[in-house]
C-alpha cells in the first residue's frame, strides 16, 4: 500500500461520511451511516487492517489521522442526532462500532427469605383448613400480652428479665397469642384464625434460640371443640407441609396459663424430637375475659415457631443462618 493511497482513502472515507450524514433525513439513516463507517465491519475498520503494509514511520501518522476521521464522523453523527431529537451515542468502551441496541447484562435476581417462603406455605395450608389470617401490633400492652391470657401479675413470664419492656405498660410482644385476645374482643364466635408475626424475647442466642423470631398463632373457638380436633389439625398441617404421611408428631403434656390442658408440640426430625411450639384447649378464664361464654363455646390454640418449621422443611441445623445475611446460604432458595 502506498502512503498517498492510504491517506487518500482516509480522506475519501471522511468526505463521503460527512456528506451522507448531512443528507440523512432521519435517525435510522444516520445509524446506517454509523454502521457503514464506524461499525465492526465498517470502512474505517477495514482500512486500519492494512497498517501492516506501511513503514514503521508511517504507521503512527496513519493511525493518528484515522482517529481524527473517527472523531469527526462521530461528532457529526451526534450533531445530526440532536437535530432529529435522538440521544447521542454514549459509548464508554471507546468503540464507535459497538452495537448499543444489544441487551445489557441482566441484574442478578434475588430470592425470598426461607422464613418468608415457609410462612407463605403455612398460611396457604391453614387457609385450606378454613383459617383466616389476623394481625396485631408488635408493641403491646400488658393486658393483651399477659392479663387477657390468664397470666397473673406475679407470674415469671411477666418478669422484666424475660421481656423487652419499653415503658410502663408497653413491651415488645412475647407471643402472637396477643392477637387471639384482640380478635375475640371484637369478633363473636365461631372463630378460626391464624396470626403469623414477629415476637421478641431476651433469650440467649444459640443454634435453636434467638431474641427475635417468627411465630404463627392458631385459634379455633366453636361449639364442641375437643383435644382430638386440635391434634388432627396439627397432624394434617405437618403432613401437608412436609409432604410426609408417615411423619411423627408428639404432644407432650405441659403447662401454659392460657390453655388447659396444654402440651408441647414435638416433631421427629434429623433422628430426634424437635420442639415446634405449644398448644392446648383455651382456658375458660381467657374466654370469660373477652366476654365469651365458656359453657357454650370451647376452643383450642397453638403457637408454632416458623423458624423451627423452616429448619425442619429444609434440614437447616442452626437458626442463626436466617439472620447472618450470608448470600451463599440465601441463594439456595432462589
Instruction: Quick: pLDDT tens for 156-193.
Output: 999 989 999 998 889 999 999 999 999 999 999 999 99
Q: Work out the number of other CB atoms within 10 angstroms of the CB of residue 28.
A: 10
C-alpha span between 265 and 274 (Å, rounded)? 8
C-alpha span between 14 and 66 (Å, rounded)? 9
Instruction: Quick: pLDDT tens for 54-99.
Output: 787 787 888 888 888 888 888 888 888 877 765 555 554 445 556 6
| 189 touches 282 (CB < 8 A) | no
Strand order in the sheet with 249-256: 132-133, 191-200, 212-222, 298-305, 272-282, 259-269, 249-256
Domains and CATH numbers, the chain: 3-84 (no CATH), 114-333 (3.30.930.10)
Q: Is the pTM of this model over 0.85?
A: no
Instruction: Quick: pLDDT tens for 201-258.
Output: 998 899 988 999 999 999 999 999 999 999 999 999 999 988 887 788 999 999 999 9
pLDDT for 324 beyond 80? yes
What Rg, from alpha-carbon coordinates, does the chain have?
36
Amino acid at each position: 500500500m502506498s502512503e498517498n493511497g492510504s491517506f487518500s482513502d482516509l480522506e475519501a472515507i471522511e468526505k463521503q461520511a460527512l456528506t451522507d450524514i448531512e443528507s440523512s433525513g432521519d435517525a435510522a439513516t444516520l445509524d446506517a451511516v454509523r454502521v457503514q463507517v464506524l461499525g465492526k465491519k465498517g470502512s474505517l475498520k477495514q482500512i486500519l487492517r492494512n497498517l501492516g503494509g506501511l513503514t514503521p514511520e508511517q504507521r503512527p501518522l496513519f493511525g493518528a489521522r484515522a482517529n481524527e476521521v473517527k472523531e469527526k464522523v462521530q461528532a457529526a453523527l451526534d450533531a445530526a442526532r440532536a437535530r432529529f431529537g435522538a440521544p447521542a451515542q454514549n459509548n464508554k468502551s471507546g468503540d464507535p462500532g459497538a452495537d448499543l441496541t444489544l441487551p445489557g447484562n441482566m441484574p442478578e435476581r434475588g430470592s425470598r427469605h426461607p422464613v418468608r417462603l415457609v410462612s407463605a406455605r403455612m398460611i396457604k395450608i391453614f387457609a385450606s383448613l378454613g383459617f383466616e389470617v389476623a394481625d396485631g401490633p408488635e408493641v403491646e400492652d400488658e393486658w393483651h400480652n399477659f392479663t387477657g391470657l390468664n397470666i397473673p401479675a406475679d407470674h415469671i413470664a411477666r418478669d422484666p428479665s424475660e421481656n423487652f419492656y419499653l415503658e410502663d405498660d408497653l413491651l415488645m410482644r412475647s407471643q402472637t397469642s396477643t392477637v387471639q385476645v384482640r380478635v375475640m374482643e371484637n369478633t363473636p364466635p365461631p372463630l378460626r384464625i391464624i396470626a403469623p408475626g414477629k415476637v421478641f424475647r431476651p433469650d440467649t442466642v444459640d443454634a435453636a434460640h434467638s431474641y427475635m423470631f417468627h411465630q404463627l398463632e392458631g385459634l379455633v373457638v366453636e361449639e364442641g371443640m375437643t383435644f382430638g380436633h386440635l391434634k388432627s389439625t396439627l397432624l394434617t398441617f405437618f403432613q401437608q407441609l412436609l409432604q410426609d404421611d408417615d411423619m411423627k408428631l408428639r404432644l407432650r403434656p405441659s403447662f401454659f396459663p392460657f390453655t388447659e390442658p396444654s402440651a408441647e408440640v414435638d416433631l421427629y426430625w434429623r433422628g430426634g424430637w424437635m420442639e415446634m411450639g405449644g398448644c392446648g384447649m383455651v382456658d375458660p378464664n381467657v374466654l370469660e375475659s373477652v366476654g365469651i361464654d365458656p359453657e357454650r363455646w370451647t376452643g383450642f390454640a397453638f403457637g408454632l415457631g416458623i423458624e423451627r418449621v423452616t429448619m425442619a422443611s429444609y434440614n437447616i441445623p442452626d437458626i442463626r443462618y436466617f439472620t447472618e445475611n450470608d448470600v451463599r446460604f440465601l441463594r439456595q432458595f432462589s
